[in-house]
Amino acid sequence: MPTVSAPPPFGYLFAGIAVADLAAEVEWFSRLFGRPPDILPNEDEAMWGATRSASVYLVRRPDRAGHGHLTLAVERLDLWLSDLAARGIDPVRIETVPAGRKLVLTDPEGNEIGLAEVGDG
């Protein structure tokens, strides 16, 4: 992971992805996370805890849907690849990046989700 020169100014990260069809996206992201949403705050949002200090949430915003980009750092990318295939999610591509490898997925609306394995993995 990259190092940060100063303490982060924020205590928690909420990363949002705009979607049009919330039900279809919740189904896809539930397969990605391997569980249903942790929180359904209202009829237009769904949220999954991604780390102890970060969450990914979907928000119904049809005017902005399909243009999101999110990358999550993971370990054991090959295991993720086989687990996701078993859940019906296939990668668009696997990239070699300067820090390691990245599995690129797209959800039903075209948002790009990356799973990056940094270092030796």
CA angle 60, 66, 70 (to 5 degrees): 95
* Polymer length in residues for the chain: 121
- Residue 95 maps to which CATH number? 3.10.180.10
Q: What residues contact 8, with CB distance under 8 A and at least 6 apart?
A: none
What value does the mean pLDDT of the chain take?
93
CA angle 76, 82, 84 (to 5 degrees): 100
Residue 91 lies in a domain: yes
Residue 111 lies in a domain: yes
Total count of domains within the chain? 1
- Full residue range of the structural domain in which residue 54 is found: 13-118
Rg (CA), the chain: 15
Residue 7 lies in a domain: no
pLDDT tens by residue, 54-97: 999 999 999 999 999 999 999 999 999 999 999 999 999 999 98
Residue 2 lies in a domain: no
3-state secondary structure 15-50: EEEEECCHHHHHHHHHHHHCCCCCEEEECCEEEEEE
Whole-number pLDDT of residue 5: 75
Residue among 100, 121, 104 nearest 112 (CA): 104
